[in-house]
Amino acid sequence: WNCRSISNKGPDIHRLLDKYNPDLLCLQETHSADQLSHHDYYTHREDRDGRGGGVITVVKKSLSHSHDVIDIPSNNSRIEALQVVLSDAVDPSRSIKVINAYAPPGTHIKTDELSLNGKTVLAGDFNCHNPVWSSKSDRAGAKLLDWSIAQDMAVANTPGCVTRPVTNTSPDVIFYHSS
């Protein structure tokens, strides 16, 4: 969810967590160092130095997991990214990586340098567009779609669902390994 600042969204986030009880929630453009806490969830964050940006991944406390800040290669600015690995102690091959990322406008993933393997979900605001995730099209969106196909990743966005109603676009997308 591109929340465009958590400063005034705490009550909305708490209601969402209480009502839907998700295992994990990815937030982009958190815009602040404000604290976000909930009694049933751990909060992991990567804030941008300076103004704007930032990501928070909220994980249910009952889930065994680890987290790290990771580097995603980009054309110019830094992409804020957190990786959470949801562990399965009985069968480690069932572990799932979830990467939460925010790419500032004009910053695009160097898809030729990014390879994801295993059970991986990549979610974020990539500020690029493609009709596959219900938005207009641009060159960066076409490259990201081509990369996802080469990585055997599918798009999880709901067709026709706009993620930024103000501009009627969807710069936010979720990819997952289809295997």
Instruction: Give pTM, 2 decimals.
Output: 0.91
Amino acid at 103: A
Q: What is the pLDDT of residue 9?
A: 81
- Of 11-20, 47-56, 123-132, 162-171, minimum mean pLDDT range: 162-171
Tell me, what amino acid is at 95?
S
Query: Kind and range of the H or E element at 147?
Result: helix 139-150
- Per residue in 115-156, pLDDT (tens digit) is 898 899 999 999 888 988 876 889 999 999 999 999 999 999
